[in-house]
């Protein structure tokens, strides 16, 4: 396609070539490609957002692959700025340690470790920790804070090098990153190489069942190449000498899958959760392409409802701002046609995004103090998965007559 984007022709889980297009969203720039004010006049390149269904293994995925160096080396998302996610990772680590009765002292490696929020919890519990993340600035900051982080992409060679240097890992984690990787087969091989014989791999990804049931189309963007469900993953891990032993649904990001994997033939029994979730996916029709054609029709209905409401509010003379500049906001704003004519500015809690302009549409991102300074009538909660905490923290805005508007999972005015 061009030097920054290529289209693959096979399924990244099973290698099959029978791929059916099921959803086409508006092309966008990379979802985290924020720019400075000096770059405002520069038009950013947009890439396709077409979703395909594998007729061989039922995996749902993007085939257009944007160069990961473009997406991740200058990443601007950090977990530690969200109190909700800090608590999430605290509970996550506690559950892993309790579930597997793991004693301290061993090695935990986090792939896509970001600012080290999760590893910090394991470290405080007495574990040796190591992060792997290609976002150079974030990796350096994590290392300086005491969470050693290798600023590279995880590969089989790196997995072997870590094992040779530090010994096998008792726990390997990959959170909101196992959907970001084109060469999932290579990463799976690297994880198997790195894991101790009785080690455990834990991953968390946006769950396709939640995306489908709640019409969470905005979780589809170029970083997210894969939209995971249990049935295709179970076969994938088996082909790479591992086995999925538990599958849990968790609330993060509007609905996520937390999977637990061991080396094939490990001593832990395969839990009933794996077969139960795979069976439920079949009942939902996630193994059929026509299910996602129906999903595409629901997305279009939401587009008409939400964009129509915003335009009516604007016609009534209401001033509108956004709250949160997560990656998914790029998909939502482009597909729903929400631009600077509809939204005046966006506030975000992350200092890394404040003072920048949103990808492509170039809407200003400001600190949250702009809410009281500029006094918009309506705040569109683009970070809708944090809607409850955002509304609670900004009760003064509501008490002063302001209104919150959420676009998903359903259009709702508060």
* Tokens standing for residue 409: 């999972």
Alpha-helical regions (H) of 240-338: 272-284, 289-315, 327-336
Q: Is residue 403 part of a domain?
A: yes
Q: How confident is the model at residue 248 (pLDDT cuts 50, 70, 90)?
A: very high
Q: Is residue 74 part of a domain?
A: no
- Supply the pTM of this predicted model: 0.89
Question: CATH code at 314?
Answer: 3.40.50.720
Which residue is listed with tokens 């090695």? Answer: 107
Q: Is residue 330 part of a domain?
A: yes
Number of structural domains, the chain? 1
Give residue 142's pLDDT. Answer: 94
Q: Is residue 378 part of a domain?
A: yes
Q: Which of 181, 251, 185 shows the shortest CA–CA distance to 216?
A: 251
Tell me what the pLDDT averaged over the chain comes to.
93
Q: Is residue 327 part of a domain?
A: yes
Give residue 101's pLDDT. Answer: 73
pLDDT tens digit string along 113-141? 999 999 999 999 999 999 999 888 899 99
Q: Is residue 383 part of a domain?
A: yes
CA distances from 278 to 133, 244, 252, 412 (A): 31, 12, 20, 32
* Least confident residue range of 71-80, 219-228, 265-274, 392-401: 71-80
Query: At residue 207, what are phi and psi to the nearest 5 degrees?
Result: -95, 130
Cβ pair 28, 220 in contact under 8 A:
no
Q: Is residue 352 part of a domain?
A: yes
pLDDT tens digit string along 286-340? 999 999 999 999 999 999 999 999 999 999 999 999 999 999 999 999 999 999 9
Beta bridge partners of 6: 65
Give residue 77's pLDDT. Answer: 57
Domain hosting 404: range is 310-413
More confident residue, 4 or 22: 22
For 351-355, the CB contacts below 8 A with 24+ separation are: 351/81, 352/76, 352/77, 352/78, 353/34, 353/76, 353/325, 355/36, 355/37
Give residue 135's pLDDT. Answer: 87
């Amino acid at each position: 396609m061009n030097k920054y984007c290529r289209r693959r022709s096979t399924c990244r889980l099973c290698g099959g070539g029978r791929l059916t297009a099921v959803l086409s969203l508006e092309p966008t720039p990379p979802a985290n490609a924020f720019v400075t004010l000096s770059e405002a006049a520069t038009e950013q390149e947009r890439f396709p957002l077409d979703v395909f269904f594998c007729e061989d293994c039922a995996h749902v995925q993007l085939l257009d692959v944007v160069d990961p160096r473009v997406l991740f080396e200058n990443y601007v998302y950090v977990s530690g700025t969200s109190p909700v996610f800090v608590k999430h990772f605290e509970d996550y680590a506690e559950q892993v340690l309790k579930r597997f009765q793991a004693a301290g002292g061993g090695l935990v490696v986090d792939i896509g470790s970001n600012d080290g929020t999760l590893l910090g919890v394991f470290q405080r519990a007495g574990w040796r920790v190591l992060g792997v993340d290609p976002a150079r600035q974030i990796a350096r900051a994590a290392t300086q804070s005491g969470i050693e982080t290798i600023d590279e992409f995880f590969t089989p060679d790196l997995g072997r090098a870590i094992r040779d240097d530090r010994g096998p890992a008792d726990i390997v984690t990959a959170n909101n990153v196992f959907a970001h990787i084109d060469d999932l087969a290579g990463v799976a091989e690297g994880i198997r190489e790195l894991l101790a014989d009785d080690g455990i791999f834990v991953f968390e990804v946006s769950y396709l069942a939640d995306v489908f049931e709640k019409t969470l189309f905005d979780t589809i963007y170029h970083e997210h190449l894969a939209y995971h469900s249990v049935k295709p993953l179970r076969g994938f891990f088996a082909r790479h000498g591992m086995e999925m032993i538990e599958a849990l649904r968790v609330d993060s990001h509007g609905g996520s899958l937390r999977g637990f994997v061991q080396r094939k033939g490990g001593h832990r029994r395969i839990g009933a959760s794996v077969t139960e979730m795979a069976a439920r996916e079949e009942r939902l029709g996630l193994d059929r392409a026509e299910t996602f054609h129906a999903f595409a029709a629901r997305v279009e209905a939401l587009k008409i409802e939400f964009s129509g409401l915003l335009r009516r509010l604007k016609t009534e003379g209401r001033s509108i701002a956004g709250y949160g500049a997560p990656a998914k906001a790029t998909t939502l704003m482009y597909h729903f046609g929400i631009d600077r004519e509809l939204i005046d500015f966006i506030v975000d809690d992350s200092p890394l995004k404040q003072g920048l302009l949103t990808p492509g549409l170039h809407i200003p991102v400001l600190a949250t103090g702009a809410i009281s300074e500029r006094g918009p009538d309506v705040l569109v909660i683009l970070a809708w998965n944090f809607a409850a905490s955002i509304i609670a923290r900004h009760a003064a805005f509501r008490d002063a007559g302001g209104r919150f508007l959420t676009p998903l999972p359903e259009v709702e005015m508060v």
